Chain A
Amino acid sequence: DAGVIQSPRHEVTEMGQEVTLRCKPISGHNSLFWYRQTMMRGLELLIYFNNNVPIDDSGMPEDRFSAKMPNASFSTLKIQPSEPRDSAVYFCASSFQRNRGEQYFGPGTRLTVT
């Protein structure tokens, strides 16, 4: 079975542009998580979904960030407008909710905002 798939793997954009990150979770998993990793702040949970419903978005830094999960096999994280401080590696992870915390991570998207 394929692991968590993220696209793009690298994204370079200019400040003010819209950025959309994509994630396909592992088939059968019903929880999906978006994380951001930076040197300064480490791994931060941005938002997570159970059964396609957002459960906790308290980690979303501000209104410029939004996430959707229209179905069990696809999620997006959008930043509009992007700022240089959004530069980070964004990870998507999925799990089967009953397997508490056993999350499987995608390869990440390295975002650079100039």
Chain B
Amino acid sequence: AQKVTQAQTEISVVEKEDVTLDCVYETRDTTYYLFWYKQPPSGELVFLIRRNSFDEQNEISGRYSWNFQKSTSSFNFTITASQVVDSAVYFCALSEAWGATNKLIFGTGTLLAVQP
């Protein structure tokens, strides 16, 4: 069965600190996709990134970076120089790469509070 675990329920940091959100997943599939979504206080869910299990290169987008390590089944998300606008709930998710379904399995989310 597929499962996504986000052990950190809440994290609080002060603006300009770096913060890493952890994500550990379980799947029997050899090919799969991993995702991060952001849910700001306004409530909508915003797609941030998708990663194919074949591609273990780390990715950087501005202040955001993602570290995918297949050996530890982890897909961690780091925000560098955090800002108050980064305050949100962040969800990690997993989906299979093949087959008829493309449903997402979400983790329980990590609430990030960035204090000014």
Contact = CB atoms under 8 A, between A and B. Distances in A.
Question: Which DSSP category, helix, strand, loop or mixed, fits chain A's interface?
Answer: strand
Q: How many A residues are at the interface, by size bracket?
A: 20 to 34
A91 B45 contact: yes
A100 B103 CA distance: 8
Contacts, number: 55
8 contacts: A31-B102, A50-B100, A55-B101, A89-B43, A100-B33, A101-B35, A103-B104, A105-B45
A99 B52 CA distance: 11
Nearest to A91: B45
B106 A42 contact: yes
Interface residues of B, number: 22
Interface of A: 31, 33, 42-43, 45, 48, 50, 55-56, 89, 91, 93, 95, 97, 99-108, 110
Contacts of B115: none
Interface string B18-35: 000000000000000101
Nearest to B35: A101
